[in-house]
């Protein structure tokens, strides 16, 4: 009996130690809670202001130069990964019926270091005699060059339509943006804690 009791005692003691070790491991919590930057809940009053300027964009297809160049300036507020603003510009260099006013939503889709890929959807009105509807779908490649300043390339489509006329124009252009810097995860630096970036990547701005 003594020879049988000793191995059983050792096995029982080993089992108890293993169970306590497993329980302690399962109850280990992360030392620092992770805060999702998308849940910071920025309000309109506290959201930072940004500005974009597109000094030059050109339409593809035939036509004289003054009919193929567009310009615009945009001002709005930034809500984490989204810019919401109002743009005012002209869709050609003609002196009449070329001005437009457009509401725009731009989302920071992907980040790699200082570079970002953005998508923009917009809609507005051209100030011509028939009040043409203007719609936009465009994509941007953006690089943050300093704390509040960056430059990018843009390409997309403008659709114009009214009761008697409709056209779609493809454009390519350059733009600059002034606004608060963003982290690699898209969160705004200085307004809250963003999600941790991927190893080996620095924060970048928008």
pLDDT of residue 12: 52
- Please report where in the chains the tokens 């992770």 appear, as a residue: 34
pLDDT of residue 189: 54
pLDDT of residue 7: 55
pLDDT of residue 194: 40
C-alpha distance from residue 32 to each of 27, 35, 192 (Å)? 15, 9, 15
pLDDT of residue 156: 97
Q: Are the C-beta atoms of residues 95 and 53 closer than 8 Å to each other?
A: no
From 178, 173, 172, select the one nearest 145 (Cα to Cα): 178
Q: Tokens standing for 143?
A: 């690089």
Longest dimension (CA), the chain: 109
Q: Are the C-beta atoms of residues 195 and 206 closer than 8 Å to each other?
A: no
For the chain, which residues score pLDDT lower than 70?
A: 1-42, 96-97, 181-206
pLDDT of residue 44: 81
pLDDT of residue 188: 53
From 141, 132, 134, select the one nearest 108 (Cα to Cα): 141
pTM, full prediction: 0.69
pLDDT of residue 63: 86
């Amino acid at each position: 009996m003594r020879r049988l009791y000793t191995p059983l005692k050792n096995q029982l003691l080993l089992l108890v130690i293993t169970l306590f070790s497993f329980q302690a491991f399962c109850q280990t919590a992360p030392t620092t809670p992770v805060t999702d930057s998308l849940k910071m809940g920025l309000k309109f009053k506290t959201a930072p202001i940004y500005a974009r300027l597109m000094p030059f964009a050109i339409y593809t297809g035939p036509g004289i130069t003054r009919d193929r160049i567009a310009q615009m300036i945009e001002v709005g507020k930034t809500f984490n990964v989204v810019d919401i603003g109002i743009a005012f510009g002209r869709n050609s260099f003609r002196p009449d019926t070329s001005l437009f006013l457009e509401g725009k939503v731009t989302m920071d889709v992907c980040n790699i270091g200082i570079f970002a890929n953005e998508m923009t959807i917009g809609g507005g009105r051209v100030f011509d005699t028939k009040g043409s509807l203007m719609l936009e779908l465009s994509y941007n490649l953006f690089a943050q060059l300093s704390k509040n300043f960056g430059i990018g390339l843009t390409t997309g489509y403008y659709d114009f339509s009214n009761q008697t006329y409709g056209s779609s124009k493809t454009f390519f252009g350059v733009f600059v943006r002034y606004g608060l810097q963003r982290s690699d995860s898209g969160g705004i630096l200085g307004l809250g804690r963003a999600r941790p970036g991927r190893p080996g990547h620095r924060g970048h701005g928008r």
